[in-house]
Structure 1
Amino acid sequence: MRGLQLSLNKGQKLRLEKALEQLESLSSKANSDASVIVADDISVNYEDAILKGHGTAEMDGRVVATLCGVVERVNKLVYVRSLRARYKPEIGDIIIGRVIEVAPKRWRLEINFSQDAVLMLSSMNLPDGIQEKCIDQLHEQNDNLMNAVQALFLALAFQRRRTAIDELNMRTIFEENDVICAEVRGFQHDGCLHLQARSQKYGKLKRGQLLTIPPYLVKKRKQHFHHLDQYGIDLILGCNGFIWVGEHVEVRDDMADDLSDKPEQQNVKSLSTTSDEEVEETYTPLDTRQNICRTANAIRVLSTLGFMVTVEVIMEIVDLSVSLNLDVHEMLGSEFYVIVAEKEAERRSLSTKKR
């Protein structure tokens, strides 16, 4: 909420200031024990042989904070988590990036970090065409054999050594400015941040919007992929502050599919014309596009106000705009910002009273 700049009239400004003051008071009461500033004492039990982590230091026999934030404790480790910090990658993080360079055997991605990330050709699945070609060869040999070893063969196809042909065809998979979803693998011996995309849910993102918000507004959870069934869209909350809102895409798991009826599926596909396939792939219905824009505007409102961005809060904002009969562009008006702040202050106040 710091640096909030909106064109408000006098009444809207007073209402917004009142709502923000209420939110700040509720937040300070909730975090009074955990919040610290520089040189504040951190209460610890020295008998437990604590470990002093990031943001802490020992001074005159006391443990003090060296930055502003919230005190976190993990077993014997005590550290201070900064409230407004840049994105710090952790292994397993779901991130969204944009390809900025196609290099030998790797793609270089911009991920809203102090350095670019690297996605190696060997760290992702093979294109569907290669998988299907391998499966067809087994079908031609023996159907019974296919049913017996299809899982093993597919696993070997996914993990096989990449060849010079694969390297030459890298631009057919990803090229510059493509938006990609991947997982953080970790920092390797060369000092680069490496990514991996070894699942069908990762890969190129199409027909949607890419939003950039401060990374500290995205709370890390077990699930960052969300399918909003009522709106027919997919929502991916990247831990690095990149958020994707796009048309729903069915994720097909090749390892789990029953491929015994594959020839019949190929016959059905051959009946459709190429032009129909191209139109179906590039066309997004008007209702879906409006839902994408409405959800994206809800995220923009939350980011501007400095509220945590979760799928539950996003859906509340979208439903609020629908209940008020607002058009998509009206969600970015000053009045809607004030209404959202007032609703959030009311919701937190009620939750505090219930406790």
Structure 2
Amino acid sequence: MREIELALNQTQKIRLQRALEKLQCLCSKSKSNASVTVADAIPVNYEDGILKGHGTSELDGEVIATVCGVVERVNKLVYVRSLRSRYKPETGDILVGRVVEVAQKRWRVEIHSNQDAVLMLSSITLPDGIQRRRTPVDELNMRNIFEENDVISAEVRNLQHDGTWQLHARSDKYGKLERGQLITVPSYLVKRRKQHFHQLDQYGVLLILGCNGYVWVGELIEAKDVMEVDDVKESEQTNANISGYTSVEVKEQSQTPLETRQNICRIANAVRVLSILGFNITIEVIVEIFNLSTSLNLDIHEMLGAEFCVTVAEKEADRRNTLRG
């Protein structure tokens, strides 16, 4: 997504500056020892036999930070996690990616990282749903499953010996994504959580917060039983053969309702507002921004205006202050 520059007047600049200063004050109080800048000393206990990791160096008997970020400690390892950096996959991450190439027994997927990932034919669930060995016929039909420019959801499986990350999509919740919008945000704004798939039933929207900074906002399609789908297809084919053409009702059922499309656009703009302001993207804040825009009777395009962005910053500062209190 292209960065949107806000045209703020003098009053809006003052309001936004006050809200950001309030947020910075709350953040510094809660994480006073976690954030470091270049040349800051990191308190460690040498008796524990610590290991210096990325973003650290030793100077005059002290561990010094060489990058700006957050101090992380894993057992004896001490390192600094950079806040603004390209996405680095980790095993178990939920991703949203785009297929860029169909190769032999694999798809190459762009995941907003330094290099593309690989999704093997053996690491997906076939349309028939039967667990079996992949045959040459399955390899010939790979484009019927995923083709170039398809948007998919998957999970990081492991790191191969050649340095390529391998994905898998063996669950029903993974696979091809349609009828929605793909939004690109900085990956550091999406924190790793237990749940990255969010079904907003009240809006008819499926929201996927990819750890790689790709956010999918699309129509929530209910999963149907395979036998039920086959019966529907057979009845539709029978009706088409009788009438000679596909009915208008069948075509309307295959389209996304207008209200759902509006909800998709409104939630997508809520994600864009959080990206513009540099706030962490969570489902709770997205729903609050959605409700705020509807309570103010704003059109969808007005959500990207300067006044609404300033209002969101003020509301977020009040919300964090309330949670802290």
Given the two structures, how large is their TM-score scaled by the length of structure 1?
A: 0.83
**1:124/1:197 contact within 8 Å kept:** yes
What corresponds to 1:41 in structure 2?
A: 41
The one of 295, 298, 308 equivalent to 1:326 is 298
Work out whether 1:336 is the aligned partner of 2:304.
Answer: no
Work out whether 1:161 is the aligned partner of 2:133.
Answer: yes
Distance 1:169 1:284 in 2: 28
Residue identity opposite 1:334 in structure 2: A
Distance 1:225 1:319 in 2: 20
Is the deviation greater in 287-296 or in 37-46? 37-46
What corresponds to 1:144 in structure 2?
A: none
Distance 1:28 1:172, change over 3 A: same
Distance 1:120 1:92 in 2: 16
Distance 1:286 1:351 in 2: 36
Distance 1:37 1:286, change over 3 A: same
Work out whether 1:271 is the aligned partner of 2:235.
Answer: yes
What corresponds to 1:53 in structure 2?
A: 53
**1:201/1:251 contact within 8 Å kept:** no
Distance 1:240 1:249 in 2: 24
Work out whether 1:171 is the aligned partner of 2:146.
Answer: no
Work out whether 1:193 is the aligned partner of 2:165.
Answer: yes
Distance 2:21 2:147 in 1: 47
Distance 1:17 1:191 in 2: 44
Question: CA offset at residue 265 of structure 1?
Answer: 7.3
Distance 1:269 1:69, change over 3 A: same
2:299 match: secondary structure: coil
Residue identity opposite 1:279 in structure 2: K
Residue identity opposite 1:287 in structure 2: E
What corresponds to 1:12 in structure 2?
A: 12
Is the deviation greater in 42-51 or in 116-125? 42-51
Q: How many residues of Structure 1 are paired with residues of Structure 2 in the alignment? A: 315
Distance 1:267 1:184 in 2: 35
1:122 match: secondary structure: strand
What corresponds to 2:71 in structure 1?
A: 71
Question: CA offset at residue 49 of structure 1?
Answer: 2.0
The one of 207, 211, 218 equivalent to 1:239 is 211
Question: CA offset at residue 281 of structure 1?
Answer: 5.8
Cα offsets for 1:267-324 (capped at 9, x unmatched): 5653334636962563000000000000000000000000000001100100111111
**1:216/1:241 contact within 8 Å kept:** yes
**1:108/1:116 contact within 8 Å kept:** yes
Is the deviation greater in 13-22 or in 299-308? 13-22
Distance 1:19 1:4 in 2: 19
Cα offsets for 1:196-244 (capped at 9, x unmatched): 1111110000000000000000010011000011101100000000000
What corresponds to 1:135 in structure 2?
A: none
Distance 2:234 2:170 in 1: 29
Distance 1:71 1:190, change over 3 A: closer
Question: CA offset at residue 161 of structure 1?
Answer: 2.2
Distance 1:266 1:215, change over 3 A: closer
What corresponds to 2:243 in structure 1?
A: none
Summarize the alignment of residues 40-119 of structure 1 with structure 2, pairs less than 5 Å apart: 40-119=40-119
Distance 1:202 1:325, change over 3 A: same
Distance 1:265 1:24, change over 3 A: closer
- Is there any run of 5+ residues in structure 2 with no aligned partner, and where? 241-245
Distance 2:31 2:50 in 1: 22
2:157 match: secondary structure: strand
> CA RMSD for the aligned pairs?
2.1
**1:4/1:305 contact within 8 Å kept:** no
Distance 1:281 1:193 in 2: 39
Residue identity opposite 1:31 in structure 2: K
Distance 1:193 1:278, change over 3 A: farther
Distance 1:198 1:266, change over 3 A: closer
Distance 1:69 1:307 in 2: 16
Distance 1:4 1:102, change over 3 A: closer
Distance 1:185 1:224 in 2: 16
Distance 2:310 2:85 in 1: 26
- Is there any run of 5+ residues in structure 1 with no aligned partner, and where? 132-156
Query: Greater helix share, 1 or 2?
Result: 1
